[in-house]
Amino acid sequence: MAKFIIKGGAELAGEISVKGAKNAVLPIMCATILAKGEFILNNVPNLSDVSTMVKLLEYLGLKVEKLNNDTYKIINNGLTSVEAPYELVSEMRASFTITGPLIGKEKRAKVAMPGGCALGARAVDQHLRAFEKMGVQVNTEHGFVNLDGNNLTGAEVDVEVTKLKIPSVGATENVMMAAVLASGQTIINNAAKEPEIVDLGNFLIKMGAKIEGLGSDKIIIIGVKELQACEYEIMPDRIEAGTYIIMSLITGGKVKIKNVNLSDLPGFIAKLEEMGVKFTQEENLLSVRGNINELKNTKIETAVHPGFPTDLQPQMMVLLSLIAGASEVNETIFSNRFMLVPELDRMGAEIVVDERVANIKGEIKFSGAKVTATDIRAGVSLVLAALIADNTTEINNIHFIERGYEDLVSRLKLLGANIERVD
């Protein structure tokens, strides 16, 4: 298995560019099922998750061509299958958002249930409940969901995750993509407001869909007869941006970041400013200033947009471990998103987890160790700690990291990091 070898202590300097958003491009690629013709997607990140989604679209009968480093052409001359196999769905949960467009366009789908993942059970009950409200027959057997959407009709649905009282991002996306070609009006109550939902909605509108309320908790969709293929530019990845903001802070603040939409990260930016971090942005280049010895410790509670994003919680634990004083992180979205803690503790952190709350001792010194990535964001957080640890860190299971961060080794090397990828 490939691993990263990182010798910590180098001061990083230079510029790093944020690429296209993983969590926007994946549902947008699913949406190309909804219309025949040739799509051009620009600003597509080079991630293994994108390659997995390409495999799924090709499995269903679409043709995908990579025109250059970040541009894809997707040709839809009609599907040859409506089945998403276990091998692909189990590899990447986001594949499940193929269900909505399959129902919208083909009125039927057979999709493998996504397994759980390191973050906890990744249920899809809200997706299925909403589809049933729209007249879809749903039955699950042998690990597959069989959906018959012959009576697909617009309806008023609610995609709130009951036990968590939060909207489901994936369920919002799936319902949107089923509703745009359904007969009649669909109202999505408690809709997710993440910027990636807005990007998917803007893509669908460019295809001719009738959608209002994007970015609010109530999305209204009027079904149309047909949609058209189009060209679209994927939004920048706000989670990648947040990761590099923390990387700049902990490595001396000389790394500047391109393509950051600060308005996509209101909860994250507000929290850092409260801790004493200063941001200046000129000509699409973001500078981050904050002396670690002067930043204030804090309490963080992850929340749906516009709150503090759960996908930046692991990266934040690395920063909080360096700041004087105790800090606290309350993870309200996922039942098991503290897998970073035992790995970080092996590098010298002192974090104690009590159910959904991590108590972080500050002012520790990271030291190199052999560690293992457990998911995308925990994995990249180990890279952050390794960059400032004394001596060498070996990170295993880096395939997780490469799912969410394009070409990280060569881009960190350009900033002066001492990092190698070894098979």
Contact letters for ligand EPZ, residues 381-410 (x by CB under 6 A): -----------------------x------
Write down how long the chain is: 423
Window contacting ligand EPZ (CB under 6 A); options: 9-17, 165-173, 314-322, 339-347:
165-173
- Least separation in angstroms between CB 92 and ligand EPZ: 8
**30 part of the active site:** no
Q: Least distance from C-beta 120 to ligand EPZ, angstroms?
A: 6
For ligand EPZ, which is the closer residue by CB, 256 or 377? 377
Nearest-CA neighbor of 330 among 303, 362, 364, 306?
A: 303
Q: How many CA atoms lie within 13 A of 131 on its CB side?
A: 31
Catalytic residue chosen out of the listed positions 5, 113, 117, 224? 117
Give me the residue label for tokens 């919208």.
104
**93 labelled binding-site residue:** yes
Question: Using the rule CB under 6 A, is 320 a contact of ligand EPZ?
Answer: no
- How many C-alpha atoms does 39 have within 13 Å on its Cβ side? 32
Q: Is 26 in the site for ligand EPZ (CB under 6 A)?
A: yes
Burial of 225 (0-12, 13-18, 19+ CB in 10 A): exposed
Which residue is it, tokens 């929340």? 303
* Closest CB to ligand EPZ among residues 371, 376: 376
22 among annotated binding-site residues: yes
Give me the least distance between CB of 388 and ligand EPZ, in Å please.
22
Closest CA to 25 of 76, 62, 70, 78: 70
Which of 107, 127, 271, 411 is the binder for ligand EPZ (CB under 6 A)?
127
Q: Is 124 in the site for ligand EPZ (CB under 6 A)?
A: yes
Angstrom CA distances, 182 to 104, 123, 324, stand at 6, 25, 55
Phi then psi for 419, rounded to 5 degrees? -135, 135
Binding residue for ligand EPZ, selected from 7, 108, 122, 254, defined by CB under 6 A: 122
Instruction: For residue 311, say whether it is annotated as part of any ligand binding site.
Output: yes
Among 21, 171, 175, 182, binds ligand EPZ (CB under 6 A): 171
Select the residue whose beta carbon is closest to ligand EPZ and give its number. 170
> Bridge partners of 360?
327, 351
Q: Amino acid identity of 113?
A: M
Least separation in angstroms between CB 278 and ligand EPZ: 27
Across-strand partners of 139?
A: 146
User: Tokens 């193929």 label which residue?
Assistant: 98
Token pair of 309, please?
């994003």
20, 104, 149, 170: which one binds ligand EPZ (CB under 6 A): 170
Based on the shown chain and the rule CB under 6 A, indicate whether residue 94 belongs to the binding site for ligand EPZ: yes
Per CB under 6 A, the segment of 22-30, 77-85, 100-108, 320-328 that binds ligand EPZ is 22-30
Residues numbered 33 to 92 that lie near ligand EPZ (CB under 6 A) are none
Q: Which stretch binds ligand EPZ (CB under 6 A): 80-88, 124-132, 230-238, 257-265?
A: 124-132
If one asks whether residue 29 binds ligand EPZ (CB under 6 A), the answer comes out as: no
Is 23 annotated to bind ligand?
yes
> What are the phi and psi torsion angles at 109 (to 5°)?
-160, 150
| Selected range binding ligand EPZ among 81-89, 116-124, 215-223, 246-254, rule: CB under 6 A | 116-124
Does 125 help bind ligand EPZ (rule: CB under 6 A)? yes
- For ligand EPZ, give the closer residue by CB, 67 or 164: 164
> With respect to ligand EPZ, which residue has the nearer C-beta, 247 or 369?
247
Choose between 115 and 325: whose C-beta lies nearer to ligand EPZ. 115
Active site residues: 117
Query: In the complex, which residues of this chain contact ligand EPZ (CB under 6 A)?
Result: 22-23, 26, 93-94, 120-127, 161, 164, 168-171, 310-311, 333-334, 376-377, 404
Pick out the residues of the known binding site: 22-23, 93, 311, 333
Query: Known binding site for phosphoenolpyruvate: residues?
Result: 22-23
Residues of each annotated binding site for UDP-N-acetyl-alpha-D-glucosamine = 93, 311, 333
